[in-house]
Amino acid sequence: MSTSFTSLQGNRACALAAVAAGCRFFAGYPITPSSEIAETLSRELPRVDGVFIQMEDEIASLAAVIGASLGGAKAMTATSGPGFSLMQENLGYAAMTETPCVIVNVMRGGPSTGMPTRPSQSDIMQARWGTHGDHPTIVLAPASVREIYSETLRAFDLAEAFRTPVVVLYDEIVAHLIESVALPAASAITAVDRKWAGASPGDFQPYAETDDLIPVMARPGEGARAHVTGLTHTPDGFPTQKPELADRASRRILDKIERHRDRIEKVETLSMDDAEIVIVAIGIVARAARSAVRDLRASGIKVGLIRPVTLWPFPETAVREAADRARRVLVPEMNAGQLVLEVERLAGARGKVVGRNRRQSQGARRR
């Protein structure tokens, strides 16, 4: 059951979805073009006994979010490319300590300060490989105001279910779109909560390997002991340098995502049954591509669209199967060429994939 339609901006939809998902802590530093998220949450969180803190910088912001999550709260932050870069070390810490949290990155033009008010999709690879080491990553890429709402809800569910940081990644245009949307009634939202340890004996292991590879968390104040460290650790949480134990621990945090791809992956397809030309795109570019597919189909050209809603882990099977059938795969994106690299990896045949890049500062560029 849904409420009546309402006009809503993308960033505000993100903030309202966070509250609906059970987020009760936000720490962040204002940065264009994500600032409306913080602005909205500064008003909405106190109304539900939540906490909003403006931090001194983005490094401290994610550190505070991790602390709040370890304390039992659903927590998030929001930023843009330069701030996201500053968060990378703490993002790796959250991945290693298996601390649920949500990071929203509203992409803008770069590098460096770049173009704060202009759109870009230049953080695609940073979202996957920004922090050092081999780490699990879940990144969601909504393309509409309604989808920002639903994917923010899903981001919290995935973070809690898999004990991992989840990134919501979208571009400035989608962030500032105002669209008419129908939001679900609060009673229709069933939020996922993390697995908590019950009454725990003295030998409780906070990183014990379970059947689903996702350990239970010690709820603060209920007696279960937990040791938290960014060092490679054994199931009891204490550091280890032993190669076989370090390898097992590192593999588990990667495998807990790979094993559950069916619960994480989400992809939209359009006119793919007989497509000879396949477009792979995300965000606002995918919306333009959707219109192009319809126009070209009306002209008799067999074109289809694949849009990864879950950007990482990348929907490898869907893209590989589409590339096998297609004569050409076109990858338009607002950067110098990032998404195209992943598609080329999966496409196989040399020369089948064609990138089309547009950066706000340089206009069109042929790859």
pLDDT of residue 360: 56
The arithmetic mean of pLDDT across residues 247-258, rounded, is 96
**Least confident stretch, 23-32, 82-91, 199-208, 256-265:** 199-208
Q: Residue 362: pLDDT above 60?
A: no
pLDDT digits 0-9 by tens, 65-93: 999 999 999 999 999 999 999 999 999 99
pLDDT band at 2 (very low <50, low <70, confident <90, very high): very low
Residues 274-310: pLDDT tens digits?
999 999 999 999 999 999 999 999 999 999 999 999 9
C-alpha torsion angle, residues 96, 86, 155, 159 (rounded to 10): 20
Mean pLDDT of 137-165: 98
Give me the pLDDT at residue 4, please: 57
pLDDT above 90 coverage of the chain, percent: 87
What mean pLDDT do residues 341-355 have? 90
Choice among 51-65, 175-189, 329-343 with the minimum mean pLDDT:
175-189
Q: Which CATH number is correct for 6-188, 3.20.20.70, 3.40.50.970, 1.10.10.1100, 3.90.79.10?
A: 3.40.50.970
Give the tokens for residue 188: 């229709």
Rounded-to-integer distance, Cα 11 and Cα 170, Å: 10
pLDDT at residue 285, rounded to an integer: 97
Chain centroid, CA 279 distance in Å: 22
6-188 shares its CATH topology with 268-366: yes
Domain boundaries, the chain: 6-188, 268-366
**Stretch 6-35: mean pLDDT:** 97
Q: How would residue 358 be classed by pLDDT, with cut points 50, 70 and 90?
A: confident
Contact 283, 333 (CB under 8 A): no
Residue that has been written with the tokens 């509409």 in this structure: 144
Token pair 């040791």 is found at: 227
Q: Which of 185-189, 326-330, 351-355 holds the top average pLDDT?
A: 326-330
Find out whether 8 and 145 touch, Cβ atoms under 8 Å.
yes
pLDDT average, residue stretch 113-121: 93
Class of domain 268-366: alpha beta
pLDDT averaged over every residue in the chain: 93
Average pLDDT over residues 184-194: 90
By percentage, how much of the chain surpasses pLDDT 70?
A: 96
pLDDT of 3 reads 53
pLDDT category at 127 given cuts 50, 70, 90 is very high
In the chain, the N- to C-terminal Cα span, in Å, equals 47
| Res 154: pLDDT | 98
| Mean predicted confidence (pLDDT) in 250-256 | 96
* Cα–Cα nearest to 162, from 261, 17, 15: 261
Torsion of Cα atoms, 356 then 308 then 177 then 160, to 10°: -140
